Structures are given as structure tokens and as C-alpha cells.
A = this chain, B = another copy of it.
């Protein structure tokens, strides 16, 4: 394994609904004198995918149910916001003071169904919120296909989101979408340095790629929503990032 490099793609404009992300990223890369190399992994923040797909919703459009009011009471969150979270969820997993953890419609367990109110134009009356992309694996694949066709290089795409975790403070990025790289690298059956068979070694490759890229992406004013991870050798497969989601019946923490 050689060196791995994470290259931020600077100076992307604010993404608007309907924007052509491929064109925007190509332009920013050209300005920064960047071009794709074979096996590059393009990591994109969930936020720009959601924005380009117009996944905005208005808090004032919500009509909070009795359940939403009860959860609002318990969590201290606004009933409109709770209703929006519930509308984007399959299931409530845990609630607590200022905490609402759900299984989002995507199947991923996360706080607030991934709904975001940072780094978006909240509009008049502070009303807008940003939802997750409808299917980030589909979005990743469509973007990858276009980049591969235009660049002539076989690259992979990962869509990253920052999330909280059980047991540990702080957010870390994970992959909510991917295309062109194996999200879950199964090394079971390989042998270790002493010839013993490795027992439990499925590596969450796409999540670690997202975390590495997130180191250059940042959260605040200088946020960079796109980066290239270069130099990683990885299995090229067509499996979606959803294979990373632990089945509910195999999850001891649901």
C-alpha cells in the first residue's frame, strides 16, 4: 500500500435546487488544476446532494401529530421539527432531553432523520430544513456514471454524512451512498501474519473513506463539501452503501 492523499476541492459555489453537480464539480476541479486519476474516490457531502435534488421542506407546512407533541415535550424540540423528523422516519429508536434518534426512511439509524438546518438558507421566518436525498446510492451511481463517462477514468463516489454514535461523543462521517467501491470489505477467510484465519474482519471501507475525507471538509464557515481520496486500492463492486446497515434483527442496540 502506498501513500493515500485527500484533496479538498475548493471554491464550490453554494448549490441550488436543480444545479448540475457534475458541471459544478468539474469546473471547481479545473480551476484548482485537479483532474481525476484512475481509482480516485470522489467524496461528496450529503448536503450538496440534497440541495441539488431540491430536498427542502418547510417547518410551517407540518401539522404535528399527538405523537410529535409528546416527543417534542420529552426532547425539548419544536413540534413542527419533530413532525418533520417523524415524516422522514420508519421508527423511533430512542428519545431523551434534546435527543431524537430514529431509523430514517433510508434504514439508517441516526439523530433527527438526518434533517439539517446548518449551512442552508433557512428562508423567510427561519422556515426551511434540508432532508436526506431520497436514495443516496442511486444518486452516487448516477454521478459516478457521468464522471466516468466524461473523464474516461474509473472512479468511485461516496456520499458522506456526519453523525453521532452510540457510546462515544462527537460526530464522525459515514457513507450514506456509494458507487464503484465495495462498502464492506470482507476479509474473513484471509490469513493473518501467523497463518491463522481471520475471524471477524469485515472492514467498513466506505465509512472510513468518508471519515478520511471529512478531515478536510469541516463543518463551519469554510466548509468544503467535496474531496478526492486518492491512492487507496479497493475492490471495485456494484454494491450499495446500504449493505452497511445492520439488520434490525441482528442489532442488539435497537
A18-26, A150-158, A186-194: which one contacts chain B? A186-194
Q: Give the docked Cα–Cα distance between A185 and B220 (Å).
A: 12
Q: Are B246 and A168 in contact (CB under 8 A)?
A: yes
Question: Which residues of the partner chain B approach A2 to less than 8 Å between Cβ atoms?
Answer: 8
Please tell me which one of the listed residues B119, B164, B173, B187 contacts residue A220 in the complex, with CB atoms under 8 A apart: B187
Q: Give the docked Cα–Cα distance between A252 and B223 (Å).
A: 30
Q: Are A3 and B4 in contact (CB under 8 A)?
A: no
Count the copies: 2
Q: Are A244 and B194 in contact (CB under 8 A)?
A: no
Q: Are B122 and A196 in contact (CB under 8 A)?
A: yes
A115 to chain B, nearest CB (A): 12
Quick check: is A94 within 8 A (CB to CB) of the other chain? yes
Interface class of chain A by DSSP:
loop
Quick check: is A99 within 8 A (CB to CB) of the other chain? yes
Question: Which residues of the partner chain B approach A232 to less than 8 Å between Cβ atoms?
Answer: 215-216
Quick check: is A205 within 8 A (CB to CB) of the other chain? yes
Question: Which residues of the partner chain B approach A122 to less than 8 Å between Cβ atoms?
Answer: 194, 196
Question: Which residues of the partner chain B approach A221 to less than 8 Å between Cβ atoms?
Answer: 190-193
Q: Give the docked Cα–Cα distance between A139 and B8 (Å).
A: 33
Quick check: is A29 within 8 A (CB to CB) of the other chain? no
8 contacts between A and B (CB under 8 A): A6-B6, A109-B166, A119-B194, A165-B166, A170-B183, A173-B208, A208-B211, A209-B215
Beyond A94-B252, A168-B244, A170-B184, 8 additional contacts (C-beta under 8 Å) are A3-B8, A168-B207, A170-B185, A170-B203, A170-B244, A190-B221, A208-B215, A211-B211
Interface residues of A (CB under 8 A from B): 1-8, 14, 94, 96, 99, 101, 108-109, 117-122, 162, 164-174, 183-185, 187, 190-194, 196, 198-205, 207-209, 211-212, 214-216, 218-224, 232, 243-246, 251-254
